[in-house]
Amino acid sequence: MKFEIVDPFNLKNMNKNLDPIFLSQSRLSIIGLLYQSNELEFTQIKDTLKLTAGNLSTQMQKMKKVEYLEIEKKFKGNYPQTICRISPKGIIAFEDFIANMNHFTNSFSFTQHAKTDTTQNHL
């Protein structure tokens, strides 16, 4: 006998709709922050998200590689300054990711899930 698994939420295609760049908590936080602010200094992002400079730099380079961020290095007085901006491509990708996540989470009815009673003693 062959059983067919029903996929009413189309979960098998969900992976195709979620940009893997944003599946990292750090990258999702960075792009979300820049989406709200459009541009920030490197140190503002680092301090706000409590990331190390090395980790932030690595995550930003991954997003720059796919053209979701623009990074501008310049001087403010005698001090180096790194300005980070979300690109138009990054805005579209982030909005698509959020829309796909909303579709995914709205596919579930959490009230239908039976709660188990974990307080029972099993002898």
Write the pLDDT tens digit of every residue in 108-120: 665 554 555 555 5
Cα dihedral angle (35, 36, 42, 46), rounded to 10 degrees? -110
Write the pLDDT tens digit of every residue in 4-16: 555 555 555 555 6
CATH code of the domain in which 97 resides: 1.10.10.10
**Among residues 23, 40, 12, which one has the least CA distance to residue 93?**
23
- With respect to residue 97, please indicate whether it lies within any of the assigned structural domains: yes
- With respect to residue 75, please indicate whether it lies within any of the assigned structural domains: yes
Q: Residue 38: helix, strand or coil by DSSP?
A: coil
- With respect to residue 48, please indicate whether it lies within any of the assigned structural domains: yes
Indicate the angle between helix axes 53-65 and 42-49, nearest 10 degrees: 120
Query: Which residues constitute the domain of residue 61?
Result: 18-103
- With respect to residue 27, please indicate whether it lies within any of the assigned structural domains: yes
pLDDT confidence bin for 18, thresholds 50/70/90: confident
How many distinct structural domains can be found in the chain? Answer: 1
Find out whether 6 and 12 touch, Cβ atoms under 8 Å.
no
Q: Which pLDDT belongs to residue 108?
A: 64
- With respect to residue 3, please indicate whether it lies within any of the assigned structural domains: no
Q: Residue 118: helix, strand or coil by DSSP?
A: coil
pTM, two decimals, is 0.76
